[in-house]
Amino acid sequence: MGWEEIAADKRQRIEKSIPAEWRVDVKSIVGPDEVSFMDVPVKSGLLTPEELAITGSSAVELVTKLAKGELKSVDVTLAFCKRAALAHQAVNCVLEFFPELALAQAKELDEYYQQHKTTVGPLHGLPISLKDQLRVKGLETSMGYVAWLGKYDKEDSVLTALLRKAGAVFYVKTSVPQSLMVCETINNVIGRTLNPRNKNWSCGGSSGGEGAIVGFRGAVIGVGTDIGGSIRVPSAFNFLYGIRPSHGRMPYAKMANSMEGQETVHSVVGPLAHSADDLKLFVTSVLQQEPWMYDSKVIPMPWRQAEEDIITSKLQSGAGGLTLGFFNCDGNVLPHPPILRGIDMVVLALKDNGHTVVPWQPYKHGYAVDLIQKIYSSDGGQDIFSVLKESGEPAIPNIKDLVNPSYPKLDMNEIWEVQRQKWIYQMEYLEQWRQREADLGREIDAFIAPITPTAAVRHNQFKYYGYASAINLLDWTSVVVPVTFADKAVDKKNTDFKPLTEIDGVVQAEYDPDAYHGAPVAVQIVGKKLSEERTLAIAKEIGRLLGNELTP
Amino acid sequence: MGWEEIAADKRQRIEKSIPAEWRVDVKSIVGPDEVSFMDVPVKSGLLTPEELAITGSSAVELVTKLAKGELKSVDVTLAFCKRAALAHQAVNCVLEFFPELALAQAKELDEYYQQHKTTVGPLHGLPISLKDQLRVKGLETSMGYVAWLGKYDKEDSVLTALLRKAGAVFYVKTSVPQSLMVCETINNVIGRTLNPRNKNWSCGGSSGGEGAIVGFRGAVIGVGTDIGGSIRVPSAFNFLYGIRPSHGRMPYAKMANSMEGQETVHSVVGPLAHSADDLKLFVTSVLQQEPWMYDSKVIPMPWRQAEEDIITSKLQSGAGGLTLGFFNCDGNVLPHPPILRGIDMVVLALKDNGHTVVPWQPYKHGYAVDLIQKIYSSDGGQDIFSVLKESGEPAIPNIKDLVNPSYPKLDMNEIWEVQRQKWIYQMEYLEQWRQREADLGREIDAFIAPITPTAAVRHNQFKYYGYASAINLLDWTSVVVPVTFADKAVDKKNTDFKPLTEIDGVVQAEYDPDAYHGAPVAVQIVGKKLSEERTLAIAKEIGRLLGNELTP
């Protein structure tokens, strides 16, 4: 079979995995002039009011009710399966869909609960969506590569296994861009995944299928990965929270990956969700399973409540609780007006509530972006292009933005030099941080920054990864907080714009107030390495101040 | 100047750094038929009885007395300077000696104490010896390379700075093998460093200068580094304790190194000392300085007293407290009889005291040794040989054992494959560990293993690194415990020996009961990644049972 046939076969199999009774005519619900799919769940009539309520709940609410026996996993799972089926029909986000397996797993958990009157773990009965890098025994993990179709996994990834142990139910694996190294989601297997809020916008990438399905509430928590923004960009573009934990906190072992074995900058795995509390539920639940017992790269570091409490204490101490830095331009690319306004909103909300917010000078972000670019391309694209060659499928259009085969392959001594420079850069930035604290006479808890220069971007327009990737080079913990939506009435085009760089000109020229109207705007809250407890607590407070943190 | 002249000049400068009044005629103290230098401090008459007592104390005793004002740093520093001067004259272990700077630093600390009636930190006034990889502002760091002589450091390494902050005094930097990648200590700058117990034995390497000077009690704590045994082998050969912490626990930043930027297997830094308690003093003192604020590779993980307490509780719970695995052969090379007896002694001492000791099957150590060998040679020796070329100095004889330029230089995709294999191997071994615990029905706290196949080895005979290097590949915490001494009366040559491998034959053939008589025998206690608290506590108990842990 040629690659087109293999891909077509896979599409058919995905199609067939959706039961006939869950098929809807999306075009009859969303007219040709309409752009949003967000009303499909209600308008389709497929979900009962109870199922709409379930899929509209937070994960914390769901596990609480499941643990009390007020909800059954079968009902919760069925609701999310139906909504995920709608999500795929609307925005084309699914690479694996297996409601039967999910319902069987849910039934077992219900039976366990019935029998033992207790849960198997903190996620008992909760359906969780997986990016198609996580292996589930018996299923395919294609990662959007045609060549990898038809291979069935013999074991779970470590994270899959631990989530399973914690009680999670699996029902869907979602789409990614071919190679993962792109912040939009398109591949030759199922094509492009759309943003549920507007078919003209990207859902982000590489965890774009997760962004879309969680944004659509076809999942309450999705699992993504991030080596250059791949959790944070889909979170931002779908008005979600997302955490890029530091390397070594969450288990990545036995997942599929591009450039497997590359360790100069580690890809990390983490959740996307509708609230900081749901992110915390995920992280604490995984840590309770002691992932360091299974994945040698994970640090034996349980959830440190004392670290979270430091932030809580600062908040309870009253005025001037938190001290945060902020910047709206990294010196390479000025964000579009909606993002600049988003940063302002966050700063204002914090100041209005008595927190201390000070300007933060980005330290050599341009240098960091160049350095990490060298790392992405350090094998001259050999790993990725050899997988394409296997099936004969063509590369997706924007693959060369990050993994450019025209970049020279580095040799061993050159990569050592890059690694040395990375280490020095990380330490210089730590020194900056200390110096700023010394100047200010107080601890700086985190800084606020754009995560992309654009609100949810129009297709094929994602150009600049630097706001995300500089943080990957630093390996700092970053939590995305949704802020607001682009508004053509206030976010006017910047008419006297003078580009800082060539790419700055390209990005700014692309801004169009009408096209971006309504697009989600987010910021990232960046804390130091392995500061998940503190940074999540700060993100939760910012979300609360903005009215975007839904759980108490 | 040619490289010989540059090296000769350095030797002269080292010579001159020893004040005339501290010069002794070692040959008049140690006759031509004598082999040991251990009596030189007493016989030379250079040290007062008080100075002999000071240099015979533990670090814990010294810092306690310094903190109470019962000792002055100037007196302690002077005592160690004098004894270090003797050490160099006896065994040729010093690359930098700077007693004037040390005494000035000690004086300042005494004045601080006088004025504030308190210490600057937990190491207040304690002299600490540094391997010549650690930079001290204003001094040279040649690492035994002629090409690096004459370059003066503009800043301290991070560890130097933090030790300084904790109150440590610096007075000496010790010798290493050219390139560091050898477990004996010889270079073209000062030649060979001898074992103070017997001039025919190696002091080990690469932290061999540290092993020799601490073994001679010219230092109470020495700082070494370890990428393939370089802390543990000198500890073993000099009847010392030594800890190879896991990567990320102690700060390595801004130190000189071979193959700088190489991250596939990280070299780590840690102390050598006369007791587990002194190792703990060092580790806790450094962690109190929050090294993660300065070195981006350090994990924000303070000393976890609760982890140490788990072992203490097991010990206090009475019989059957600890559960330890043990093995005496890794399947590649059978240790010499003294080492086999050392393992037996440890097992017996533990069993006699009610602990549970079970056989431990080494998991694919041969595979691990081959894999790490590929990593050591992954640039085909380019980094090291280019430094030699700079000065024109020749390579030391045994450099090709680990860094063999006939090994092919790996390309990016090949090193990624090696890194992938490393990760899988680490996880398989974790699985073995879990499985053995499941079989046994209890937690296995650590395992006991040889650290070298020989007692303190004869010069140019160090052939097999595998007992040490397999642990580096795993990145597990390892603490060396001194056990006993080779004894020709009991450690007979193994007459019916059948080699497992070619190298096994070579190593075993080298055993000679007479030549090894009296040579230190040690074992390593290996715990999981980042288990410094537990593994040190176990090592302390084993040392106590053997009568070799000197502090209470």
- Residue B408: what pLDDT? 84
Closest chain B residue to A375 measured between Cα atoms?
B412
**pLDDT tens string A329-358:** 999 999 999 999 999 999 999 999 999 999
Report strand pairing: A356-359 vs A446-450: unpaired
Tokens 């695995």 sit at which residue?
B325
**B298-319 mean pLDDT:** 93
Name residues whose C-beta falls within 8 Å of residue B490's C-beta, 6 or more positions apart in sequence. B337, B341
Catalytic residue numbers of A read 131, 206, 230
Give the one of A259, A296, A430 whose C-beta lies nearest to B294's C-beta.
A430
Per-residue confidence (pLDDT) for residue B549, from 0 to 100: 72
Which one of A379, A409, A420 has the shortest CB-CB distance to B261? A420
**For residue B34, how many other CB atoms are within 10 A of its CB?**
12
Could you read off the pLDDT of B442-494 as tens digits, one per residue? 999 999 999 999 999 999 999 999 999 999 999 999 999 999 999 999 999 99
User: For the residues B336-345, what does the mean pLDDT come to?
Assistant: 98
Residue B412 touches partner A, C-beta closer than 8 Å = yes
Instruction: Say what the pLDDT of residue A320 is.
Output: 67
Q: Which helix (H) or strand (E) holds B94?
A: strand B94-97
Which chain A positions have a beta carbon within 8 Å of B411's beta carbon?
A: 379, 409, 411-412
SS3 content of chain A, % helix, strand, coil (to 5): 45, 15, 40
Q: Residue B529 is nearest to which of A264, A300, A415, comparing CB atoms?
A: A300
Residue corresponding to tokens 């270090």: B84
CB within 8 Å: A475 and B427: no
Instruction: Report the C-alpha gap between B121 and B119 in whole angstroms.
Output: 5
Write out the H or E segment, with its range, that includes residue B128: strand B127-131
Size of interface A-B (CB pairs under 8 A): 123
Q: Which residues on chain A are in Cβ contact (under 8 Å) with B530? A: 299-300
Residues in chain B: 552
Quote the tokens at residue B177: 């093998």
Q: With CB atoms and an 8 Å threshold, state whether B263 touches A264.
A: yes
Give Cα separations from B149 to A211, B53, B207, B495 (angstroms): 56, 36, 19, 49
Nearest Cβ partner for A413 among B254, B379, B420? B379
Among A374, A416, A444, most B C-beta atoms within 10 A, so best to mutate, is: A416
Q: Which residues, including other chains, have CB under 8 Å from residue B496's CB and lie 6 or more apart?
A: none
Contact A378 B412 (CB under 8 A): yes
- B406 classed as catalytic: no
User: Is A418 an interface residue toward B (CB < 8 Å)?
Assistant: yes
Among chain B residues, CA nearest to A383:
B413
Neighbours of A371 (CB within 10 A): 20
Tell me what the mean pLDDT of segment A425-433 comes to: 98
Per the CB < 8 A criterion, the answer to whether A54 and A156 are in contact is: no
Q: What is the pLDDT at residue B187?
A: 98
> Average of pLDDT values for B118-143?
98
Q: Which residues of A line the annotated binding site for substrate?
A: 180, 206, 227-230
Chain B residue closest to A426 (CA)?
Answer: B296
Residues 199-228 of A with CB under 8 A from B: none
Q: Is residue A156 less than 8 Å (CB to CB) from chain B?
A: no
**pLDDT grade, residue A552 (50/70/90)?**
very low
Query: Considering B230, B267, B378, B478, which one is annotated as catalytic?
Result: B230
Domains of chain A plus CATH, in order, are 3-546 (3.90.1300.10)
Contact B296 A253 (CB under 8 A): no
Which amino acid is it at B384?
A: I
Give the distance from residue B199's alpha carbon to the nearest chain A alpha carbon, in angstroms.
38
The stretch B284-303 carries a mean pLDDT of 98
In three-state secondary structure terms, A209 is helix
Interface of B with A in 340-399 (CB under 8 A): 378-380, 382-383
Q: How far is A231 from chain B (nearest CA, A)?
A: 23
Using CA atoms, how far residue A413 sits from A105, A417, B255, B412, in Å, is 50, 6, 18, 10
Q: Do the beta carbons of residue B431 and residue B312 sit within 8 Å?
A: no
Report d(CA B429, CA B426) in Å as an integer.
5
Chain A within 8 Å of B418 (Cβ-Cβ)?
Answer: yes
As a whole number, mean pLDDT of residues B44-71 equals 98
Give CA–CA dist B223/B240, Å, rounded: 13
* Torsion (CA) A168, A170, A172, A175 in degrees, nearest 10: 70
Distance CA B403, CA B376 (A): 6
* CA A284 to mean position of chain CA atoms: 18
- From chain A, the residues in CB contact with B294 under 8 A are 427, 430-431
Query: Would you call A427 and B262 a contact, using CB atoms and an 8 Å cutoff?
Result: no
Q: Give mean pLDDT, residues B508-515.
A: 98
**Type of residue at B47:** L
Residue of B10, B131, B314, B540 with catalytic role: B131
Whether the predicted pLDDT of A551 surpasses 60: no
Residue A291 has a pLDDT of 98
SS3 A298: coil
Enter the tokens of residue A160: 């899959």
Q: Is A410's Cβ below 8 Å from some Cβ in B?
A: yes
Residues of chain A with Cβ-Cβ distance to B423 below 8 Å are 253, 261, 296-297
Q: Which of B22, B230, B14, B225 is nearest to B139 (CA)?
A: B14
In chain A, what residues touch B290 (CB-CB under 8 Å)? none
- Could you tell me if B155 lies within 8 Å of chain A, comparing CB atoms? no
B1: confidence class by pLDDT, cuts 50, 70, 90: confident
- Please identify among residues 261-280 of chain A the ones whose CB lies closer than 8 Å to any CB of chain B: 261-264
Buried b (16+ CB within 10 A) or exposed e, B283-312: bbbbbbbebbbbbbbbbbbebbeebbebbe
Half-sphere exposure of B107 toward its Cβ, with a 13 Å CA cutoff? 6
Check: CB of residue B106 under 8 Å from CB of residue B132.
no
Q: Residue A371 in contact with residue B261, Cβ under 8 Å?
A: no
The C-alpha atoms of residue A343 and residue A246 are separated, in whole angstroms, by 23
Give tens-digit pLDDT for A71-110: 999 999 999 999 999 999 999 999 999 999 999 999 999 9
* B550, pLDDT greater than 70: no
Question: Hey, what amino acid is at A259?
Answer: M
Cα B79–chain centre separation: 23
**How far is the alpha carbon of A416 from chain B, nearest alpha carbon, in Å?**
4
**B430 touching A (Cβ < 8 Å):** yes
* Predicted local distance difference test score (pLDDT) of residue B552: 41
What's the pLDDT tens digit per position in A283-307? 999 999 999 999 999 999 999 999 9
- Which residue's structure tokens are 């975007």? A548
The CA-atom distances, in angstroms, between B79 and each of B51, B74, B99, B282 are 5, 8, 10, 20
DSSP symbol at A274: S
pLDDT tier at B400, thresholds 50, 70, 90: confident
User: What pLDDT does A550 receive?
Assistant: 61
Cis before B206 (ω within 30):
yes
Q: Name the helix (H) or strand (E) containing B480.
A: strand B477-485
Q: What is the pLDDT of residues A473-485, one digit of tens each?
A: 999 999 999 999 9
Asked whether this complex has an ipTM greater than 0.90, the answer is yes
| A409/B411 touch (CB, cutoff 8 Å), yes or no | yes
Q: Is the distance from CB of A474 to CB of A429 less than 8 angstroms?
A: yes
Query: Taking all residues of chain A, what is their mean pLDDT, rounded to a whole number?
Result: 97
Tell me which chain B residue has its CA closest to the CA of residue A408. Answer: B412
Using pLDDT thresholds of 50, 70 and 90, give the confidence band for residue B406. confident
Mean pLDDT of A258-273: 98
Sorting pLDDT into bands at 50, 70 and 90, what band is A317? confident
Instruction: Identify the DSSP state of B293.
Output: G
Which residues in chain A touch residue B405, judged by CB atoms under 8 angstroms apart?
none
Confidence of residue A319 (pLDDT cuts 50, 70, 90): low
Query: Which pLDDT value is given to residue B315?
Result: 94
pLDDT band at residue B404 using 50, 70 and 90 as cut-offs: confident
Phi, psi of B248 (to 5 degrees): 100, -5
- What's the CA gap between A501 and A509, in Å, rounded? 12
Is B480 in contact with B473 (CB distance < 8 Å)?
Answer: no
> Would you call A412 and B529 a contact, using CB atoms and an 8 Å cutoff?
no
Please classify residue B65 by burial: count the beta carbons closer than 10 Å to its beta carbon, then call 0-12 exposed, 13-18 middle and 19+ buried. middle
Burial A288-312, CB ≥16 within 10 A → b, else e: bbebbbbbbbbbbbebbeebbebbe
Q: Give the least confident one: A210-219, A296-305, B370-379, B396-405.
A: B396-405
**Token pair of B299 as six digits:** 């994990």
| A416/B contact by beta carbon, under 8 A | yes
Select the residue from B292, B387, B412 to test the A interface by mutation, using most A Cβ atoms within 10 A: B412
Provide the β-strand partners of residue A293.
Answer: none
Range name among A144-148, A269-273, B405-409 with the lowest pLDDT average: B405-409
Q: Do B379 and A430 touch (CB under 8 A)?
A: no
- The length of chain A, given as a count of residues: 552
Residue positions forming the annotated binding site of A: 180, 206, 227-230
Check residue B319 and give its pLDDT: 59
Q: Do A244 and A271 touch, CB atoms closer than 8 A?
A: no
Distance CA B373, CA B402 (A): 6
Over residues A487-531, the pLDDT tens digits come to 999 999 998 999 999 999 999 999 999 999 999 999 999 999 999
Q: Is B529 on the interface with A (CB under 8 A)?
A: yes
Mean predicted confidence (pLDDT) in A7-29: 98
pLDDT band at A408 (very low <50, low <70, confident <90, very high): confident
Catalytic annotation present for B258:
no
Sequential DSSP letters for B24-70: --HHHHS-TT----TTHHHHH--S-HHHHHHHTS-HHHHHHHHHHTS
Per-residue confidence (pLDDT) for residue A517, from 0 to 100: 98
Give the per-residue pLDDT at B543.
Answer: 97
In one-letter notation, the amino acid at residue B135 is: R
pLDDT of B526 higher than 80 = yes
State phi, psi for A512 to the nearest 5 degrees.
-145, 110
